[in-house]
Chain A
Amino acid sequence: MSVIIDSTTRVLVQGATGQEGRFWTKHMIELGTNVIAGVTPGKEGEDIEGAPVFDTVRRATEESPADASLLFVPPGFAKDAIYEALDAGIKTVVVLAEGIPVHDALRIRGAALSAGAMVIGGNTSGVISTGEAMMGFFPYWIERVYRPGRIGVMTRSGSLTNEITAEIVKTGFGTSSLVGIGGDAVPLTRFAEVLPLFEEDPETDAVVIIGELGGTMEEEVAEAIEDGTFTKPLVASMGGRTAPKGTKMGHAGAIITAGRGTVEDKVAALEGAGALVADRPSEVGELLQSVLSKVG
């Protein structure tokens, strides 16, 4: 079993009939993802790469139950679409949209926590278990970037993911599962909430987190290591060391405010807990080699 998704996970795709939705659903199926249906209001009767399209999530899941839903919907509609998936009892939702309003994100997070569901995103490339199944958009067919292996990855950045996985592959490793937490100020699921899944995953030997300035998610990872919740080796790549204070560095979540969220603090917390921190992407591979040779 891998983390979040494998080839048996029954995946629904909301908003699959748009341009990006069709392009990536095709790639998901080619990898081996079990896409059971699409949902686009008004498009029932069409199909997406052979999977039937329904008007509502209720109808789709009545026809055939789903374990997870992937959302290709625009940010302003994300909240409604997520609530629709939660209402149908789906416990894993991945939302790719960038620009979900912050107040919507707060409400979604509250709703997901009380439904006992995991909503991942927004502003993410999604989730992939390398060589098995994917919800999102990772170019898994580029061999120097994606190779099945035993390193778990969690990331706040889609654009940096390939950069880091290429370094992991270059040093002879491969990836088990990759979870895109996303770059928003209110990530709907946090690093520390995914960490226990990697801890339990027998296919993951070590975890790489791709962090950056802003927020407190890296500090929460350090706490999980310190309190023994997470015991596998962990390497962090941290962007934004030289970023000026008070400037939103592209991602809504990438900002240092009130002296909080500096990379120095995050590095100190992670290193204090025993994790290794890479200054630049090219160091990630070497650090992995050093921790994994120690483990044997």
Chain B
Amino acid sequence: MKLFEHQAKELFQEAGIPIPEGKLVSSMSGLDGVVEEVGLPCAIKAQVLQGGRGKAGLIQLASTGDEVRAKSEQILGKLEDGHGLLVEQALDIDKELYLSITPEPVSGSALIMASAEGGVDIEEVAQHTPEKIIKEHVDISEGLLPFQARSVVFELGLKWSEVKQGSTMLLNLYNLFQKYDAELVEINPLVITEKGDLVAADGKITIDDDALPRQERFSLSRDFFESDIAYEASQEGIPYLKFDGDIGLLCAGAGLTNVVYDLINYGGGRVDSYVEFGGPNYRKAAKALELMMKTEPKVVLIVTFGTIARADVIAEDLVEAIKRLEPGFPIVTAIRGTGEEKVRDLLGEVGLEPLEDTEEAVEKAIELAGSAER
């Protein structure tokens, strides 16, 4: 779960990480009094989850009250959803740094990455000048130790007066990482102002979805998703992705889904959506088909080769759902694995013929997608 910038900054503030003076507004009327509160010049930042806000014109600077209103109106006009605007005091920037913490799966630790080259796309820095990124592994059962935080900050080349602020900030950021089960906490840019203060000018926090049951403060509401279907799928715990094609891919198991996705592309077909009901979700085949119907695919391809995902349970569920929902699109099936001996009879009830070979099923789906009327 990616948090909106204003949510990340709320957590920063609670953790003692300095942020610019700012106010969240949801509409033009909310702008009254904001300039007085925040000061001029200020930055107007759209609260959306997509990256590249600057390039998309979703972050703009304004130096007069009139400009604030005009630019806010312009940005709000571009937003279909999201959390409105964050209006923030603009900072006098001396330097821009980068700071983040992520899980490091190989050693089972937390990984701090810091760079004096902040404010830019850190992936570019990582690719072209990896030596400019400072890395520090943190033993997750001990937590970040003060000497480690100091070492990282000294390596950034800060002045002594800035080092203390920087290492406190890093320790506080680590506390957030740990407390909220984060997959990412990132400050980019971390600004050093002309006065020598360290301020988090932007903030990104991603909470591990699997930890949400114990992170009661956060829940995935509709505004975190691109569509109603994506939201509904998430509520069911069903992975769902939307592309732009004509074949709806309904598979049990992510690994198999990825391979079938490749096979469709290799064969010149185009995947329209991806609904995956494998593993512990295998008893949700009917719900998955229901979701799939809402995406209006030309053809649906159902592929399973289950271990725990029992073919008989899946087939039974699908047959019930097909009888009840009467989908108007052709369905190609290859439903195999545990319990497969019962599948042929079950699917026969609704006129479906289970194929045995994945590639054969993919070819058939592509063929049907090419000829079917939309």
User: Which A residues are within 8 Å of any B CB, using their own CB?
Assistant: 20, 24, 75-76, 96, 98-103, 105-111, 113, 123, 125, 136-139, 142, 145, 155-163, 166, 183, 185-187, 190, 210, 212-213, 215-216, 220, 237, 239-244, 247-252, 254, 258-259, 279-282
Known interface pairs A102-B211, A103-B211, A281-B259; A259-B337 also in contact (CB < 8 Å): no
Instruction: Return chain B residues, CB-CB under 8 Å to A279.
Output: 262, 266
Residues of A within 8 A of B56 (CB): none
Is B16 in contact with chain A by the CB < 8 A criterion?
no
Q: Is B54 at the interface (CB under 8 A from chain A)? A: no
Interface residues of B in 190-240 (CB under 8 A from A): 208, 210-211, 213-214, 239
Residues of B within 8 A of A237 (CB): 259
Contacting pair A110 B140 (CB below 8 A): yes
* Complex alpha-carbon distance, A163 and B262, angstroms: 15
Given contacts A110-B139, A213-B258, A250-B254, whether A280 and B210 have CB atoms under 8 Å apart is no
Among B251, B306, B337, the most chain A Cβ lie within 10 Å of the Cβ of: B337
Nearest 7 interchain pairs by C-beta: A159-B253, A157-B255, A250-B254, A109-B108, A160-B255, A159-B256, A101-B211
Contact residues in B for A252 (Cβ distance below 8 Å): 210
Bound-state Cα–Cα, A110 to B109, Å: 8
User: B261 contacts the other chain (Cβ, under 8 Å)?
Assistant: yes
Taking the complex as formed, is B366 at the interface, i.e. its CB lies under 8 A from any CB of chain A? no
Interface: B48 (CB within 8 A): no
Residues of A near B279 (CB, < 8 A) are 98, 123, 158
Shortest A154–chain B CB gap in Å is 13
8 A Cβ contacts from B129-160 to A: 139-141
- The answer to whether B123 has its CB under 8 Å from any CB of chain A is yes
Nearest A residue (CB) for B280: A98
Asked if residues B108 and A157 are in contact (CB atoms below 8 Å), the reply is no
Interface centre among B178, B208, B239, B243 (most CB of A within 10 A): B208
Q: CA–CA, A279 to B241, complex, Å?
A: 23
**Bound CA–CA A102/B206 (angstroms):** 12
Chain B residues with CB under 8 Å of A156's CB are 255
* B276 at the binding interface (Cβ < 8 Å): yes
**Does B320 count as interface, using CB distance less than 8 angstroms?**
no
Spell out B's residues near A (CB within 8 Å): 103-106, 108-110, 122-123, 126-127, 139-141, 178, 181, 183, 208, 210-211, 213-214, 239, 241, 243, 251-259, 261-263, 265-266, 274, 276, 278-280, 304-309, 336-340, 358-359
Chain B residue at minimum C-beta to C-beta distance from A111: B141
- Residue contacts A-B, CB under 8 angstroms, 22 given: A99-B210, A101-B208, A101-B211, A101-B214, A102-B103, A103-B103, A111-B141, A137-B307, A138-B307, A156-B255, A160-B253, A162-B337, A163-B305, A163-B358, A185-B105, A190-B106, A243-B262, A249-B274, A250-B239, A250-B278, A279-B266, A280-B262
CB-CB under 8 A for A186 and B141, given A102-B210, A249-B257: no
Given A24, A107, A259, which contacts B123 in the complex, CB threshold below 8 Å?
A259
Assess whether B109 is in contact with A159, with CB atoms less than 8 Å apart: no
Please judge, given known A-B contacts A106-B110, A110-B108, A162-B337, whether A76 and B214 are in contact too, CB under 8 Å: yes
User: Across the interface, do B178 and A103 meet the contact criterion of CB distance under 8 Å?
Assistant: yes
Q: Nearest chain B CB to A99's CB is how many angstroms away?
A: 4
B330 CB to nearest A CB, Å: 23
Query: Are the C-beta atoms of A212 and B258 separated by less than 8 Å?
Result: yes
A163 touches B256 (CB 8 A): yes
- A213: chain B residues at CB < 8 Å are 258
CB pair B211–A251 under 8 Å, yes or no, is no
Instruction: Among B105, B261, B340, find the residue whose CB has the most chain A CB atoms closer than 10 A.
Output: B105
Which residues in B have their C-beta under 8 angstroms from that of A138? 307
In the complex the two chains form, what is the Cα distance from A106 to B276 in whole Å?
A: 26
Q: Given A212-B258, A241-B262, A159–B210 Cβ distance below 8 Å?
A: no
Q: Is the CB of B208 within 8 A of A102?
A: yes
- A-side contacts of B339, CB under 8 Å: 139
Q: Is the CB of B307 within 8 A of A159?
A: yes
Question: Which of chain A's residues has its CB closest to B260's CB?
Answer: A239
Pair A254/B210 contact, Cβ less than 8 Å: no
Q: Which of these, B106, B126, B241, B255, contacts A239 with CB under 8 Å? A: B255
